[in-house]
Amino acid sequence: MILYNLKCPQDHSFEAWFKDSGTYDKQAKRKHIECPVCSDTTIEKAIMAPRLSSTTRKKGLEYETSTTNEPNHNNLKLNVDKSRASKAAREFLEIANKLQKHVEENCENVGGKFAEEARAIHYGEAKERGIYGEATPSEVEGLVEEDISISSIPWKKNKPS
């Protein structure tokens, strides 16, 4: 499995998992990858930040970018900008809430039958439409292996009325 940062021509960024890079290439070529914000299917890979070693991530350290090609270990800093992080978290939650509202208003909730219904749509056994629901990790893995386009998005449980 591989995770890609993707973007559409309107600069909406999102992430998606693929079985391998070839699976991404096939789905992108067939326009099977859709922006979760605007539904555009002209998708390309976005620039991805390299992963740091797990020991560096666990320490909460990051390197500032140097303008020279020489390593500058004086630029090692503790990542403690909490106000910037909480602003980003609030913005993320606002976007996630808008996305959830859009999906709920425009797609059918198939609940725990998501994997079954996604397969039926993919293989032409059910009417093509937007659906959402729940799937186990093994069901998700099976859908990805079958080259069935799906996206996982953060979901807030609605409070009972």
Q: What is the pLDDT of residues 99-117, one digit of tens each?
A: 889 999 999 999 999 999 9
Low-confidence ranges of the chain (pLDDT < 70): 48-83, 158-161
Report the chain's mean pLDDT, rounded to a whole number: 79
109: containing domain = 81-161
Prediction pTM value:
0.47
pLDDT of residue 49: 59
Is residue 38 in a domain?
A: yes
pLDDT of residue 93: 84
What sign does the CA torsion over 137, 17, 151, 30 have? negative
The reply to whether 89 and 154 lie within a common domain is: yes
As a whole-number percent, the residues of the chain with pLDDT over 70 amount to 75
Please state the domain count of the chain: 2
Is residue 73 in a domain?
A: no
The SS3 of residue 86 is helix
Is residue 151 in a domain?
A: yes
The reply to whether 108 and 151 lie within a common domain is: yes
